[in-house]
Amino acid sequence: MPSMIDARIYPATTHEVTNQSGALTGVNLFEADRILREAVDREGAGWVADRASRLGAAAGDPEIQEHAHLANKHGPALKSHDRFGHRIDAVEFHPSYHALMGLAFGSGVHSLAWTANRPGAHAGRAALSYLWNEIENGVGCPTGMAYSAIPSLRLVPAIRTLWEGKALAEAYDPRAIPVDDKTAVTIGMALTEKQGGSDLRANTTGAEPVNGGGTGGEYRLTGHKWFCSAPMSDAFLTLAQTEKGPSCFFVPRSLPDGTRNRFFIQRLKDKCGNRSNASSEIEYDDTYAILLGEEGRGVRAAIEMAHLTRLDFAIGSAGLMRWALNLTLHHTHGRRVFQRVLADQPLMRNVLADLCLESEAATVIAFRLARAVDESAAGSEQARLLERILTPVAKFWNCKRVPAFIAEALECHGGNGFIEEQPMARLYREAPLNGIWEGTGNVICLDVLRALQREPDSVAALLDELALARGVDHRLDTAIDALEVELSDPLELEHRARQITAMIATVMEASLLVRHSIPAVADAYLASRLEGLPNRAFGSLPRGVDAAAIIARSRLQ
């Protein structure tokens, strides 16, 4: 007699799956995103549309999405020695990581701001960075560092001549060979140390000049860097102490004679997120370096680089929110609960509309900042002052809002959102990172205070920008008045730094939405952000908002 198992009493399959939303693929994330397209046009970079459309199509390509999944599932590994015992200090990556690096660098995500040679170059590059953060975030670190490093490379003519063209090339060459033999190079950074962290002046790495040193001169470095991102890069910007104080140096991986520099990767960091990208601890031991700028001016050089990376984090955080929102809108419109489409449930509709508000607000402030960077580079003093204060404001606020935003978006997916096969889990682990790199929240808010105190004309530039929206809605006018009072109060500034920064960000976002978005979005933002509780939970929009119109504006077309 056959056993019960042999008789196949149990079915080989369960049932037909009819209530899953499926993957969000086959959509061009630039062409289908009216909010992004409007921002790009408005801030002077409409000319980037064709390039952005190609990257937007890649973002919706299932093969590219699988590369993002695999690059994070199979993270980098340190290979300190070859099979014969020679130290090689190499990092091995999954092929999907190299495919993504090729796409990002081949698309100019790292370089367009410097190669476009036309107005709106930083805003155009911001569009590519925004879209890239809807593809894969780990590669955003190498592209962002390459973007921000260019002004530093230009400080020494010999370095600029040899390195800039290859750093800006729309190509990816991962080979560990001398720069002369490469078609393209990547640039990393190694600034912080374990005893100092954000306090860069506390760094203890030492620099000894060779033949007198000086700008463009040779030095030898000795020390340990606690965080070195993308250690497979071809060169690094780093800080070390000279007799005159912290100074900025250029450290190539290969020496002029073709041999490898004394650059030792001690270990890779096991990180919460950003797993496709290698972060490491490195050791300098009599390491060849070239001084960029003047001795003792290294912290200023680092801050100038950070200014651009902070713009990139404001943009990238908005892109990260947008991808989470896209996934959430797709899921909730493709799944039914209690005999209705999930997105049609009144409370879910409130949550979705609230997320749409947050995403659009993050986008408009980030791209307004990008235009200020462009106009400042073109010589506008008003734009320079606005850029000075708005950069740390937008970096702080967008980065601070991402973790709560992603957590709410993940919850909209239910248990599916918590599964590593789905992209939401990866985004959740990624969410806190931008708020840490290039200055944690307190560091950034203190920089806002520095702008207010050292360049008080930046306050006037900020208020001039806000005045463009005056007279449209009494709630906004009242908020601008309250902000003026807050900015004029000199007492306990450090204690109030986060409050001040949050107020600037919220009022700026409100003014931009009043000027540039649809009435339903502007009204709901004013009602919930200016009149509501600042730390309210998502999904707490008041009665009377047009949730359907808000969601329709953000849904991909």
Q: pLDDT tens for residues 237-278?
A: 999 999 999 999 999 999 988 899 999 999 999 999 999 999
Distance CA 233, CA 221 (A): 18
pLDDT at 301: 84
Count of C-beta atoms within a 10 Å radius of residue 80? 14
pLDDT at 7 over 90: no
Q: pLDDT tens for residues 154-195?
A: 999 999 999 999 999 999 999 999 999 999 999 999 988 988
Residues 269 and 353 in one domain: no
Q: What are φ and ψ of residue 121, in 5° steps?
A: -65, -40
Range of the domain at 217: 179-298
Domain boundary among 244, 277, 298: 298
Q: pLDDT tens for residues 407-435?
A: 999 999 999 999 999 999 999 999 999 99
Q: pLDDT tens for residues 390-405?
A: 999 999 999 999 999 9
pLDDT at 12: 64
Residues 344 and 390 in one domain: yes
Residue 121 within any structural domain of the chain: no
Residue 112 within any structural domain of the chain: no
Residues 294 and 340 in one domain: no
pLDDT at 1: 46
Q: Which helix (H) or strand (E) holds 423?
A: helix 423-430
Nearest to 406 by CA among 422, 383, 429, 389: 429
Residues 394 and 521 in one domain: yes
Q: What CATH code is carried by the domain that includes residue 328?
A: 1.20.140.10
Residues 308 and 218 in one domain: no
Q: What CATH code is carried by the domain that includes residue 280?
A: 2.40.110.20
Residue 284 within any structural domain of the chain: yes
Residue 466 within any structural domain of the chain: yes
Residue 109 within any structural domain of the chain: no
pLDDT at 376 over 70: yes
DSSP secondary structure code for residue 411 in this structure: H
Residues 365 and 478 in one domain: yes
Kindly report the average pLDDT of the chain as a whole number. Answer: 94
Distance CA 179, CA 167 (A): 10
Q: pLDDT tens for residues 113-122?
A: 999 999 999 9
Q: pLDDT tens for residues 190-227?
A: 988 988 777 878 889 999 999 988 999 999 999 999 99
pLDDT at 305: 85
Residue linked to tokens 């007699």: 1
Residue 159 within any structural domain of the chain: no
- Say if CB 229 and CB 188 are below 8 A apart: yes
Residues 251 and 396 in one domain: no
Residues 329 and 228 in one domain: no
* pLDDT (average), residues 130-148: 97
Domain boundary among 266, 282, 298: 298
Angle made by CA atoms 296, 227, 398, in degrees to the nearest 5:
95
Sign of CA dihedral 66, 423, 343, 529: negative
- Say if CB 348 and CB 158 are below 8 A apart: no
pLDDT classification of 353: cutoffs 50, 70, 90: very high
Q: How far is CA 406 from CA 315, 326, 412, 473, 537, in A?
A: 16, 12, 10, 31, 13
Q: pLDDT tens for residues 486-536?
A: 999 999 999 999 999 999 999 999 999 999 999 999 999 999 999 865 558
Residues 373 and 471 in one domain: yes
Q: How far is CA 299 from CA 94, 98, 306, 473, in A?
A: 35, 33, 10, 43
pLDDT at 10: 57
Residue 108 within any structural domain of the chain: no
* pLDDT (average), residues 290-301: 92
Share of the chain above pLDDT 70, in %: 97
Higher-scoring residue by pLDDT: 235, 305: 235
Residue 88 within any structural domain of the chain: no
Residues 442 and 457 in one domain: yes
Q: pLDDT tens for residues 16-25?
A: 888 999 999 9
Residues 225 and 352 in one domain: no
Number of domains in the chain: 2
Domain boundary among 251, 273, 298: 298
Residues 349 and 377 in one domain: yes
* pLDDT (average), residues 56-63: 98
